[in-house]
Amino acid sequence: MSKKNFSIMVMAIITTLFIISASSAESLKIGSMSPLTGPYASDGTDIKNGVLTAIEVFEKQEGGIPGYDKIELFPQDDVCDPRNAVAAANKLINLKVVGVIGAYCSSCTIPASETLDEAKIVMITPASTNEQVTDRGLPYMFRMCGRDDDQAPAAAKFMKESLNAKTIFIIDDKTTYSQGLADGVSKNSKALGMNVVTHDHVNQGDKDFSAVLTKVKAANPDILYMSLQGYSPAALMSIQAKRMGIKAQIVTQDATFQPKFMEVAKDAAEGVYLTYGFTDPTTPEYKAFQQIYEPKYGKIAAYATYAYDSTIALLRAIKAAGSTEPDKIKAELMKLDFNGASKHVKFKENGDSGSSYIAFKVQNGQFVPYWDPAKGLIK
């Protein structure tokens, strides 16, 4: 090796070491994991934006975390693919993040959390509603959103009591989330005496639903229950159903809670019902979030608020723990009890934070709270 090459190499090593030590001394690292490309890129981007907003708010309004100049986010793209999710988890472990917000798809959260849990890294999902997420007893797994086994009974009860439905045609797109929820709706509907005429499946990324909708039209059910991953296929299916003249009432779920649903489906979105965790948009916490989020990222969508609350919860716990030790952070998370933007946050022993599913109706391009399982019609 020539002298010149050698000195360049030494310089490179020194610079690298300097950069590494400099950055680790200054910032607290947290990770996020959601699909930033692929079919669910929009929902995944909402999550990332929610986390970024929370960091900004926390640094400005709560003074950040003592001992750190700033909080740094390492957003990972899992493309809603379990393999990518595990790879992202490993990458975050190597980056030595203190906690992770994510993932979006239950099928990613489940395997990624196994990996993160071994490294004792806290994971809070803002969006994965499958029961298995918290039912596996992982000590560092938390959930800000609701659970499918709470959502499914709420949806079934709504269809029975408010819509007087007798026959239901269920369609899902075979993700852990969408199929799990559809199975739950099917089971609960049958238990309530409704008839599930067909439970059919489509594929992720499909755009053409004419074949399955022709079946729906022939079956002429009271309800078309769409359990699809994301607002985009839900909008496409609503448009096509309307165009085919399908009379069945469309009921769908939390993944559709995205203003883009109305933007794309327009008229076809009107009158669609969906179940989603109740968030009161009039609370000061929600408004505080809205004020920072909307000018930067546009209208608040399905999981941004949960991602925001997840991040605030994580950062508050780290601050209270006064250390990055996993068990101390976990202990502080369990102690949290505050009004978040999405709901009142209080974690249970298994890491869940409770569900508050109600039915919304799309009216004049807005999601309007319509029916509460506990109280019936709202207003």
Partner 1 sequence: MDSFIQQLINGITLGGIYALIALGYTMVYGVIQLINFAHGEFFAAGGYVGVIFLSFFTGLGYMETHPIFCLTASFALAMMYCAYLAIGVEKIAYKPLRKEARLAALLSALGVSIFLSNGLMLTQGVYDKAYPSELFQGGFNFGIITIGYLQVLIVCLTGALLVALNLLVFKTKIGMAMRATAQDKTMSALVAIGSNNIISLTFAIGAGLAAAAGIMVGLYYGSVRYDMGFLPGIKAFSAAVLGGIGNITGAMLGGLIIGMVEIFGAGYISGEYKDVFAFIILIGVLYFKPTGIMGENIDDTRV
The residue count for binding partner 1 (CB under 8 A) is: 41
Residue 137 or 298: which CB sits closer to partner 1? 298
Contact between 373 and partner 1 (CB under 8 A)?
no
Binding to partner 1 (CB under 8 A) within 309-368 occurs at: none
- The CA distance from 113 to 86, in Å, is 8
Residue of 108, 107, 105, 103 lying closest to 124 (CA atoms): 103
Angle between helices 106-118 and 176-191 (to 10 degrees): 120
Contact between 80 and partner 1 (CB under 8 A)?
no
Residue 238 or 253: which CB sits closer to partner 1? 238
**Tokens 């929600």 found at:** 286
- The CA distance from 288 to 50, in Å, is 13
Residue of 88, 150, 94, 96 lying closest to 113 (CA atoms): 88
CB of 58 to partner 1, least distance (A): 25
Q: List Cα–Cα distances, 47 to 65, 77, 162, 372, in angstroms.
A: 22, 11, 32, 26
Binding to partner 1 (CB under 8 A) within 169-208 occurs at: 171, 174, 200-203, 205-208
Residue 212 or 317: which CB sits closer to partner 1? 212
- The CA distance from 171 to 70, in Å, is 46
Stretch that binds partner 1, among 64-72, 215-223, 313-321, 353-361 (CB under 8 A): 215-223
**Tokens 């249970």 found at:** 348
- Contact indicator for 321, 335 with CB cutoff of 8 Å: no
Residues 223-262, one symbol each (x = binds partner 1 by CB under 8 A, - = not), give --------xx--xx--xx--xxx--------------x--
Binding to partner 1 (CB under 8 A) within 12-71 occurs at: 36-39, 41-42, 44-45
Residue 95 or 239: which CB sits closer to partner 1? 239
Which residues of the chain form contacts with partner 1 (CB under 8 A)? Answer: 36-39, 41-42, 44-45, 171, 174, 200-203, 205-208, 210-212, 214-215, 217-218, 231-232, 235-236, 239-240, 243-245, 260, 263-268
